């Protein structure tokens, strides 16, 4: 992040020293929300047949965004984000089946559940690093999945939890069979999530987390507690992941065991890295491109998809470490440099 | 009860043979290799092809599988892995090796098809061996024997040979080892070959217990990683103890308390790693 920023600053300086501050791509960050909203609405008109898929993409983007908060802003490499997503999805699903119908309340339930489980497990495991931390996050996910599998009376076990039938949104908009309400609801939640996440990462707390990522020793030297920051951000990301899980449960009406699986965690990581970590919008871009290509390729043969995504992933790691967004930025930098010369 | 113990130990030995390869590469190169399960799977598939389609005897198929897997993966070390060695790159390591796993899964499916593959056992391994009043299946006895041979062989290789001394030196301090004239790049290559060879060996031997299908690579990698994390990266006896404990508890859990085996396994994993973040058996050997 810092390296990229300095790079950018350098290109700016060499290209057009006078106009540098106004041209910094950083200041364009606020554009992300309107652009996402416009693209989301355009997709609503362009693909009315595929609203189910698009809704799933939006909810997944929120989930990947939660991983970005942990990985991109705290540097915690985790393979256990699905634990929070699954907990949120199951909490919202169970609440919807037994007690409440209001979709917004269900999202709150999911967020609360995700945040709680993240806070508990985060306090327990975040002292570790490297392989140990990866294993611990995997173990947490497996335990959540196993509990969901065994508590058949509540969760439906391997059959999945079904019968989630939320009440109309705000008492006005019914969840219709074409998924229009679902889609617009998911889009609104994602946009709200992006705004809140942007506010969080730009707050002093977010900056402190980034400090922990860059140099934990210095943070403790100036009086902060790195672990406390990490646990707090882990819990915040847990809330996001829980809301994403609840959103999936509300809009799709079912919750399956795979929502708390190892591979769902790994897929989130893949999507985030494709888009670019530490940028928030990278999560959205990565999710859209991953799931879009998946939809097209996996329709013919799931193994074509695995070959493609595997090669693509290796290519990104080896040649484009910052993900798609950094590639775009680098291209932008090239053009700007050329423009400066000409 | 005795049968459970034998099955558990045999299962543990398979886990040991595969995981110790991962443990050695993780201890030396510090690379979290999620593609290790894929290498084991490749070994199993090659052996299955050699035995079923080409009609080679079991022993020959085993040798061919290990040799071919090592030959096929050595270029990967030079081309891919060398770029991501070291502590700082966990995320790239995870992603690159997940990508590699996906590619291998897709290729294996393309070449061999999605069905379950078997490696036919020779008659010599089909019967039972009597041990006093009890009898155990010959294949299980063979697997346990191979595991013990691997354990002793690795111990001898790392503790008693020149190669082992250099390897341990490079683990302790790569820069110093290089300065003393040890060619660490070759050492890395040899160690990587050793690791994939062990993976392939385990994949072939364990085809009865961990069935060969294209998702093998993804399904079992968590188990192998758990063994390494509990055993401590780079520790042979740690891996052996962790793999045996895991194999016996997992098998016993499946027979005795079928409902909560996995739950207890992961809960124990969390507790162990919480108390001993570097592994329960973190030893001094490479």
**Of B217, B112, B111, nearest in space to A266 by CA:** B217
**What is the predicted pLDDT for the residue at A245?**
93
| Nearest-CB residue to B273 (from A136, A311, A317) | A136
How would residue B230 be classed by pLDDT, with cut points 50, 70 and 90? confident
More confident residue, A25 or B3: B3
Q: Quick check: A310 and B100 in contact, CB under 8 A?
A: yes
**Of A56, A115, A326, A64, nearest in space to A236 by CA:** A115
In chain A, which residues have their Cβ closer than 8 Å to the Cβ of B106? 303-304, 306-307, 310
In a domain, A14, yes or no: no
In a domain, A225, yes or no: yes
More confident residue, A131 or A289: A289
Using the beta-carbon criterion (under 8 Å), do A150 and B259 form an inter-chain contact? yes
How would residue A233 be classed by pLDDT, with cut points 50, 70 and 90? very high
pLDDT > 60? residue B286: no
C-alpha span between A252 and B152 (Å, rounded) = 55
Give the list of residues 6+ apart from residue A12 with CB closer than 8 angstroms, or none. Answer: A20, A23, A24, A336
Question: How many folded domains does chain A comprise?
Answer: 1
Give the list of residues 6+ apart from residue B277 with CB closer than 8 angstroms, or none. Answer: A127, A128, A129, A132
Q: For position B152, which CATH number holds?
A: 1.10.3470
**Of B44, B6, B20, nearest in space to B214 by CA:** B44
Q: Quick check: A145 and A257 in contact, CB under 8 A?
A: yes
Using the beta-carbon criterion (under 8 Å), do B226 and A140 form an inter-chain contact? no
In a domain, A10, yes or no: no
pLDDT > 50? residue A19: no
**Of A44, A85, A68, A57, nearest in space to A291 by CA:** A57
How would residue A340 be classed by pLDDT, with cut points 50, 70 and 90? low
In a domain, B284, yes or no: no
Using the beta-carbon criterion (under 8 Å), do A311 and B260 form an inter-chain contact? no
In chain B, which residues have their Cβ closer than 8 Å to the Cβ of A127? 277
Of the segments A84-93, A321-330, B77-86, which one has the largest average pLDDT value?
Answer: A84-93
How would residue B285 be classed by pLDDT, with cut points 50, 70 and 90? very low
**What is the predicted pLDDT for the residue at A2?**
46
The arithmetic mean of pLDDT across residues A65-73, rounded, is 90
Using the beta-carbon criterion (under 8 Å), do B260 and A134 form an inter-chain contact? no
Residue numbers of the domain that contains B235: 2-117+136-275
Give the list of residues 6+ apart from residue A147 with CB closer than 8 angstroms, or none. Answer: B263
In a domain, A138, yes or no: yes
In a domain, A17, yes or no: no
Poorest-confidence range of A168-182, B15-29, B180-194, B235-249? A168-182
Q: How far does Cα A268 stand from its chain's mean position?
A: 7
Q: For position A320, which CATH number holds?
A: 1.10.3470
**Of A195, A201, A192, A189, nearest in space to A69 by CA:** A201
Q: Which of A76, A146, A150 to mutate to test the interface with B (most CBs of B within 10 A)?
A: A146
In chain B, which residues have their Cβ closer than 8 Å to the Cβ of A318? 80, 83, 96
- Residue A20 is encoded by which pair of tokens? 């540098």
A319-337: burial string, b at 16+ Cβ within 10 Å, e else? ebbbbbbbeebbeebeebe
**What is the predicted pLDDT for the residue at A10?**
42
In a domain, A54, yes or no: yes
| Nearest-CB residue to A314 (from B100, B105, B270) | B100
How would residue A28 be classed by pLDDT, with cut points 50, 70 and 90? low
In a domain, A4, yes or no: no
Q: Quick check: A275 and A323 in contact, CB under 8 A?
A: yes
The arithmetic mean of pLDDT across residues A240-248, rounded, is 93
The arithmetic mean of pLDDT across residues B246-274, rounded, is 75
In a domain, B188, yes or no: yes
Q: pLDDT, tens digit, for every residue of B72-85?
A: 988 888 888 877 77
Q: How far does Cα A311 stand from its chain's mean position?
A: 22
Q: Judging by beta carbons within 10 Å of its beta carbon (0-12, 13-18, 19+), is residue B212 exposed, middle or buried?
A: buried
Q: Quick check: A185 and A62 in contact, CB under 8 A?
A: no
Residue numbers of the domain that contains A206: 31-341
How would residue A24 be classed by pLDDT, with cut points 50, 70 and 90? very low
A vs B: CB pairs below 8 A = 125
Q: pLDDT, tens digit, for every residue of A30-66?
A: 777 788 888 888 888 888 778 888 888 999 999 999 9
**Of B18, B16, B61, B40, nearest in space to B105 by CA:** B40
pLDDT > 70? residue B219: yes
- Helix, strand, coil share (%) of chain B residues, nearest 5: 75, 5, 20
How would residue B125 be classed by pLDDT, with cut points 50, 70 and 90? confident
Using the beta-carbon criterion (under 8 Å), do A146 and B262 form an inter-chain contact? yes
In chain B, which residues have their Cβ closer than 8 Å to the Cβ of A321? 92
How would residue A3 be classed by pLDDT, with cut points 50, 70 and 90? very low
Q: pLDDT, tens digit, for every residue of A289-318?
A: 888 888 888 777 777 888 888 888 888 888
Using the beta-carbon criterion (under 8 Å), do A132 and B107 form an inter-chain contact? no
Q: Quick check: B140 and B6 in contact, CB under 8 A?
A: yes
Question: How many folded domains does chain B comprise?
Answer: 1
**Of B217, B277, B218, B225, nearest in space to B246 by CA:** B225
Poorest-confidence range of A149-158, A253-262, B205-214? A149-158
pLDDT > 60? residue A184: yes
In a domain, A131, yes or no: yes
DSSP A308-321: HHHHHHHHHHHH-T
| Nearest-CB residue to A310 (from B100, B262, B273) | B100
pLDDT > 70? residue B63: yes
Mean pLDDT score of chain A = 81
Cα angle value A19/A20/A23 (rounded, 5°): 85
C-alpha span between A83 and B183 (Å, rounded) = 44
Using the beta-carbon criterion (under 8 Å), do A310 and B267 form an inter-chain contact? no
Q: pLDDT, tens digit, for every residue of B151-198?
A: 999 989 888 888 888 888 887 788 888 888 888 888 888 889 999 999
**What is the predicted pLDDT for the residue at B280?**
67
| Nearest-CB residue to B96 (from A140, A142, A317) | A317
Q: SS3 of A280, please?
A: coil
The arithmetic mean of pLDDT across residues B276-280, rounded, is 71
**Of A241, A235, A233, nearest in space to A209 by CA:** A233
State the DSSP code for A170: T
In a domain, B255, yes or no: yes
Distance between B134 CA and the closest CA of chain A, angstroms = 36
Q: Quick check: B285 and B158 in contact, CB under 8 A?
A: yes
**Of A234, A261, A264, nearest in space to A133 by CA:** A234
- Residue B206 is encoded by which pair of tokens? 């364990």
The arithmetic mean of pLDDT across residues A160-173, rounded, is 73
Q: Scanning every residue of chain A, which has its alpha carbon at the shortest distance from the alpha carbon of B278? A: A132
Q: Scanning every residue of chain A, which has its alpha carbon at the shortest distance from the alpha carbon of B224? A: A135
In chain B, which residues have their Cβ closer than 8 Å to the Cβ of A139? 226, 266, 269-270, 273
Q: pLDDT, tens digit, for every residue of B10-22?
A: 888 999 999 998 8
State the DSSP code for A217: H
**What is the predicted pLDDT for the residue at A236?**
93
pLDDT > 60? residue B284: no
Q: pLDDT, tens digit, for every residue of A252-276?
A: 888 888 888 888 898 898 888 888 8
pTM equals: 0.80
**What is the predicted pLDDT for the residue at A23?**
44
In chain A, which residues have their Cβ closer than 8 Å to the Cβ of B114? 303
H/E segment holding residue A285:
helix A281-298
Poorest-confidence range of A151-160, B55-64, B232-241? A151-160
| Nearest-CB residue to B225 (from A124, A135, A147) | A135
How would residue A67 be classed by pLDDT, with cut points 50, 70 and 90? very high
Phi, psi of A255 (to 5 degrees): -130, 125
C-alpha span between B44 and B2 (Å, rounded) = 28
pLDDT > 80? residue A80: yes
């Amino acid at each position: 992040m810092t390296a990229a920023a300095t790079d950018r600053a350098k290109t700016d300086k060499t290209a057009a020293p006078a106009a540098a501050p106004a041209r910094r791509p950083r200041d364009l960050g606020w554009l992300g929300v309107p652009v996402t909203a416009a693209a989301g609405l355009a997709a609503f008109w362009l693909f009315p047949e595929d609203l189910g898929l698009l809704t799933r993409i939006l909810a997944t983007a929120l989930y990947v965004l939660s991983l970005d908060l942990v990985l991109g802003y705290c540097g915690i490499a985790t393979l256990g984000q699905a634990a929070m997503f699954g907990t949120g999805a199951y909490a919202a699903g169970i609440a919807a089946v037994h007690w409440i119908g209001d979709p917004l309340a269900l999202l709150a339930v999911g967020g609360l559940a995700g945040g709680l489980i993240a806070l508990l497990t985060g306090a327990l495991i975040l002292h570790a690093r490297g392989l140990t931390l990866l294993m611990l996050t995997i173990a947490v996910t497996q335990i959540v999945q196993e509990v969901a599998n065994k508590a058949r009376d509540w969760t439906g076990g391997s059959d999945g939890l079904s019968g989630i039938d939320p009440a109309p949104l705000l008492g006005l908009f019914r969840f219709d069979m074409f998924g229009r309400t679902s889609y617009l609801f998911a889009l609104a939640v994602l946009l709200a999530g992006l705004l809140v996440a942007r506010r969080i990462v730009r707050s002093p707390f977010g900056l402190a987390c980034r400090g922990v990522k860059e140099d934990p020793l210095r943070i403790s030297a100036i009086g902060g507690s790195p672990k406390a920051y990490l646990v707090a951000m882990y819990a915040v990301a847990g809330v996001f992941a829980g809301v994403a899980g609840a959103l999936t449960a509300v809009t799709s009406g079912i919750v399956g065991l795979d929502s708390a699986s190892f591979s769902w965690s790994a897929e989130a990581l893949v999507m985030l890295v494709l888009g670019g970590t530490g940028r928030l919008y990278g999560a959205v871009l990565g999710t859209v491109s991953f799931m879009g290509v998946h939809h097209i390729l996996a329709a013919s043969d799931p193994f074509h998809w695995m070959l493609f995504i595997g090669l693509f992933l290796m290519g990104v790691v080896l040649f484009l470490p910052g993900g798609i967004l950094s590639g775009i930025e680098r291209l932008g930098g090239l053009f700007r440099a050329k423009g400066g010369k000409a | 009860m005795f049968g459970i113990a034998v099955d558990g130990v045999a299962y543990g030995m398979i886990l040991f043979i595969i995981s110790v390869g991962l443990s050695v590469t993780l201890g030396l190169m510090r690379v979290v290799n999620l593609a290790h399960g894929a290498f084991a799977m490749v070994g199993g598939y090659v052996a299955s092809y050699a035995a079923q389609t080409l009609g080679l005897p079991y022993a020959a198929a085993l040798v061919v599988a290990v040799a071919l897997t090592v030959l096929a993966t050595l270029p990967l070390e030079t081309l891919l892995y060398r770029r991501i060695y070291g502590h700082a790159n966990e995320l790239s390591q995870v992603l690159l090796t997940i990508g590699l796993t996906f590619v291998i899964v897709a290729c294996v499916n393309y070449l061999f098809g999605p069905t379950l593959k078997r490696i036919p056992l020779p008659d010599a391994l089909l019967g039972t061996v009597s041990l006093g009043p009890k009898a155990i299946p010959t294949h299980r006895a063979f697997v346990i024997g191979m595991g013990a041979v691997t354990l002793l062989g690795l111990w001898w290789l790392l503790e008693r040979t020149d190669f082992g001394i250099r390897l341990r030196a490079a683990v302790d301090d790569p820069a110093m080892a290089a300065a003393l004239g040890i060619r660490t790049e070759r050492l890395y290559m040899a160690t990587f070959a050793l690791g994939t060879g062990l993976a392939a060996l385990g994949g072939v031997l364990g085809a009865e217990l961990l069935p060969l299908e294209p998702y093998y690579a993804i399904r079992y990698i968590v188990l192998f990683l758990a063994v390494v994390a509990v055993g401590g990266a780079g520790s042979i006896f740690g891996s052996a103890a962790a793999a045996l404990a895991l194999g016996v508890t997992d098998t016993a859990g499946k027979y005795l308390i079928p409902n909560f085996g996995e739950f207890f396994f992961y809960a124990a994993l969390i507790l162990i790693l919480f108390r001993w973040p570097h592994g329960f058996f973190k030893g001094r050997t490479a």
